[in-house]
Amino acid sequence: MANAAQEEENSAGFPTPVAAFSQGVRKGGFLQVAGQVAFDADSKIVADTVAEQTRQALRNVNTVLAAAGASMDDVIMLRVYLTDTAHFGEMNEAYGEFMSEPFPARTTVYVGLPAGLLVEIDALAVVE
């Protein structure tokens, strides 16, 4: 760990990151959840639609949050990375299934992702 004040959050039964990063890192009262994609526990892409990939990415965000004793209610910011501007409406509809008021802040950006991946989502939460 880069800083002794950080606590790494790793979820049992969750795909191991393919690079050198943690699924989530807690520092003080903040938990940063790394970008989550539509991988299942076997690191396989679960679907080929942006709606299903959004749902799986958000389920993965929830898994990391839960491992740290947090929930979507603790999230203050989400960033959504899409590969195509045409996917915004479909992503937004699936995203809405997981959100309730008061809504966290959100930024959506358009990026290149590895083959087969259409969306990636990260989160910043405040935890006790």
Does 45 fall in a domain? Answer: yes
User: What is the predicted pLDDT for the residue at 14?
Assistant: 61
What pLDDT is attached to residue 41? 83
* Residue 88 buriedness (CB in 10 A; 0-12 / 13-18 / 19+): middle
Domain membership flag for residue 77: yes
Angle between helical axes of 88-96 and 50-67 (0-180°, round to 10): 40
What is the pLDDT at residue 20? 65
Could you tell me the CATH number of the domain that includes residue 62?
3.30.1330.40
Q: What is the pLDDT of residue 53?
A: 98
- Say what the pLDDT of residue 27 is: 93
Residue 1 within any structural domain of the chain:
no
Say what the pTM is. 0.86
Domain extent for 41: 6-126
- Cβ atoms of 91 and 54 closer than 8 Å: yes
Within-domain flag for 97: yes
**CA-CA distance, 94 to 89, in Å (whole number)?**
9
User: What is the per-residue pLDDT for 61?
Assistant: 96
Task: Give pLDDT, residue 22.
Answer: 81
Q: What is the pLDDT along the chain (128 residues), one digit of tens a residue?
A: 233 233 444 445 566 656 666 889 999 999 999 999 999 888 899 999 999 999 999 999 999 999 999 999 999 999 999 999 999 999 999 999 999 999 999 999 999 999 999 999 999 999 98
* Count of domains for the chain: 1
